[in-house]
Amino acid sequence: MLRVAINGYGNLGRGVEQAITKNADMEVAVVFTRRDPATVTTQGAPVAHVDDMAAWADKVDVCLNCGGSATDLIEQTPAAATLFNTVDSFDTHARIPEHFAAVDAAAKASGHVALISAGWDPGLFSMLRVLGEAVLPDGATTTFWGPGVSQGHSDALRRIEGVLDAKQYTRPVEATVAAVKAGDDVELTTRSMHTRDCYVVAEEGADRARIEREIVEMPNYFADYDTTVTFITAEELAAEHAGIPHGGSVIRRGHTSAGVAETVSFELQLDSNPEFTGSVLVATARAVARLAARGETGARTVFDVTLADLSPTSPEELRAHYL
| Sequence ranges of the binding site for substrate | 145, 170, 196, 246, 273
Residues flagged as binding site: 9-12, 33-35, 66-69, 89-91, 118-122, 145, 170, 196, 246, 273
Alpha-carbon gap, residue 172 to 244, rounded angstroms:
17
Burial class (CB in 10 A: 0-12, 13-18, 19+), 178: exposed
Check: CB of residue 13 under 8 Å from CB of residue 66.
yes
Give the nearer residue to ligand NDP in terms of CB position, either 142 or 273: 273
Contact assessment for residue 244 and residue 272, using Cβ atoms and an 8 Å cutoff? yes
Q: What residues line the site for ligand NDP (CB under 6 A)? A: 8-13, 33-35, 66-69, 89, 91, 119-123, 273-274, 277
Residue number, 94 or 260, with CB nearest to ligand NDP: 94
Instruction: Tell me how far, at minimum, the Cβ of 125 lies from ligand NDP, in Å.
Output: 8
Cβ-contact 88, 113 below 8 angstroms: no
Give the DSSP H/E element, type plus range, for residue 86: strand 85-88
Q: Which residue is nearest to ligand NDP (CB)?
A: 10
Give me the least distance between CB of 166 and ligand NDP, in Å please. Answer: 16
Taking each helix axis as running N to C, give the angle between helix 72-81 and helix 96-110, from 0 to 180 degrees, rounded to the nearest 10.
20
Annotated binding-site residues for NADP(+) read: 9-12, 33-35, 66-69, 89-91, 118-122
C-beta neighbour count of 151 within 10 angstroms: 15
Q: How far is the CB of 118 from ligand NDP (least distance, A)?
A: 7
Q: What is the DSSP string of 172-214?
A: E-HHHHHHHHHT------HHHHEEEEEEEEEPTT--HHHHHHH
Output the smallest distance, CB 92 to ligand NDP, in A: 7
Question: Rounded distance, CA 146 to CA 247, Å?
Answer: 5
For ligand NDP, give the closer residue by CB, 35 or 59.
Answer: 35
Please, which residues have CB within 8 angstroms of residue 308's CB and are 6 or more apart in sequence?
315, 318
Q: Is the Cβ of residue 106 or residue 281 nearer to ligand NDP in the bound state?
A: 281
* Closer CB to ligand NDP, 142 or 277, in the complex: 277
> Least distance from C-beta 115 to ligand NDP, angstroms?
12
